[in-house]
Amino acid sequence: NAGVTQTPKFQVLKTGQSMTLQCAQDMNHEYMSWYRQDPGMGLRLIHYSVGAGITDQGEVPNGYNVSRSTTEDFPLRLLSAAPSQTSVYFCASSYQQTANLNTEAFFGQGTRLTVV
């Protein structure tokens, strides 16, 4: 079972470069999200999606774009990388338990991004 697959696992960017972090899930989950993990700050929500064609901002959306053209895929785009975006990025998906409560999240392996 693949679950949630993230690519790449590691990436080094120069300031100003752009890139896309890929995320795919094969569990038919409606809800997908992107978090960044920084020491002492836990996981902070960047963007999330409640279904194909629907996305919304999380806690720290600036500098990131997302789209959800299919149920399976939820890519995260960095438009112009900055050193402050050096972090570990996790994609997660979950099933909607009720109209607005989700079950547990299934996480990808993470992408360690360094911006120099």
**Could you list the residues that contact another protein (CB under 8 A)?**
31, 33, 35, 40-45, 48, 50, 56, 58, 90, 92, 94, 97, 100-105, 107-110
Q: How far is the CB of 19 from another protein (least distance, A)?
A: 20
- Give 27 or 50: the residue with its C-beta nearer to another protein: 50
Three state DSSP letters for the chain: CCCEEEECCEEEECCCCCEEEEEEECCCCCEEEEEEEECCCEEEEEEEEEECCEEEECCCCCCEEECCCCCCECCEEECCCCHHHCEEEEEEEECEEECCEECCCEECCCEEEEEC
Q: How far is the CB of 115 from another protein (least distance, A)?
A: 21
- Give 28 or 42: the residue with its C-beta nearer to another protein: 42
Q: How far is the CB of 11 from another protein (least distance, A)?
A: 16
Q: How far is the CB of 25 from another protein (least distance, A)?
A: 13
- Give 48 or 115: the residue with its C-beta nearer to another protein: 48
How is residue 48 written in tokens? 């999330």
